[in-house]
Amino acid sequence: MKERNSAGFSEKARPYGLAADYYRLHARKQVLKRILYAGAAVCPENAALSVSHYEIAAEKIPPAFDGFRIIQLSDLHGRLFGKDGQRLLAKIKAQRPDMIAVTGDFADEKTENFAPLLHFAASLRAICPVCFVSGNHEQKLPPLLRRSFLNGLREQGVGILDNTSVHLERNGQTVDLRGVRVPLRYYRWRGKGNRRIAFSEKKMERLAGFCGPSYTVLLAHNPLFFEAYAAWGADLTLCGHVHGGLFRLPGLGGLLSPERKFFPRYSAGIYRIGDRVMEVSRGLGKYPRLNNLPEIVSLTLRSAPGHPTPRKDVL
């Protein structure tokens, strides 16, 4: 049997030309991935659990939703804190949420047993309504396994918002809650100059339909398309995916995206385009971290003109 190297190619059949370029890129990514996984195993910050608080103020938010609190969980990648997630659940309950939004990568293709995650989802649903949108890692699951996982979430009472919506109602006033499942091809860098495939407002309309006049909260795993989300009409977009950039540098932000791009434009916290706001979670998964604690996000809606005001993380 021919021996294969770490990139999966036979040593006696190295590719040439364009294939050689792919070989080198793939090999480098595999080496980087192994270094990052090794770093995650010894990273002390993964043992922490922080809560970041934001107030989102806008005239468009109906008065009935003043004080409405959303807890955002992102990028667990199959991880639970403590037995049955009890440590994480205790932190969530203490925030007294009105809704929990899970913004993708709850599981991933390495998750061998979904039962603990589904049990945790049921515990979340016992606190308040829960909505979920798929990330890139759920999309990488084999189709039958992915369908089984999503059906399992539905059986626990979780609302699946993959390219669909629900209306939240209070005292006769409504807020639209939307979700978009960005296809995997938009996560990949390709083409001349290693540019990303464009994701536009028109593509948002084809996936999620037209955005209505009500205040709209959008769950969208990938923050890199904020311009398209804002142009489509999302007033508040909740994202994850970038893991805070792994290593957060003072004055520079996150260092590295999951696409192995340095200094991603959106990595953590609040971003604005005009009146449109996007919040990007640092995520809860176990990966290399520096100045980048695992994060629960608490967002409180305020019916008034203003700007999001972050408060110091609560450990």
Length of the chain (residues): 315
Lowest model confidence (mean pLDDT) among 38-47, 120-129, 207-216, 223-232: 38-47
For the chain, the average pLDDT equals: 86
- Residues facing residue 299 across a β-bridge: 54, 70
- pLDDT at position 40 is 47
Average pLDDT over every residue of 278-297 = 93
Query: Contact, 65 vs 301, CB < 8 A?
Result: yes
Instruction: Please choose, from the candidates 32, 47, 42, 31, the residue with its C-alpha nearest in 3D space to the C-alpha of residue 293.
Output: 47
Tens-place pLDDT, residues 117-152: 999 999 999 999 999 999 999 999 999 999 999 999
* Residue 44 scores a pLDDT above 80: no
- pLDDT at position 189 is 61
User: Quick one: tokens of 249?
Assistant: 């540098």
Tens-place pLDDT, residues 169-189: 999 999 999 999 999 999 876
Report the alpha-carbon distance of residue 191 to residue 213 in Å, rounded: 37
Exposure class string for 60-92: b at 16+ Cβ within 10 A, else e = ebbebbeebbbbbbbbbbbbbbeeebeebbebb
Query: Contact, 232 vs 201, CB < 8 A?
Result: yes
The class (CATH top level) of 49-314 is alpha beta
Report the alpha-carbon distance of residue 28 to residue 23 in Å, rounded: 9
pTM of structure: 0.84
Average pLDDT over every residue of 226-232 = 97
- Where residue 191 falls (left for φ over 0; alpha for ψ -120 to 50; beta otherwise) is left
Lowest model confidence (mean pLDDT) among 20-29, 59-68, 226-235, 290-299: 20-29
- pLDDT at position 28 is 56
Report the alpha-carbon distance of residue 221 to residue 288 in Å, rounded: 20
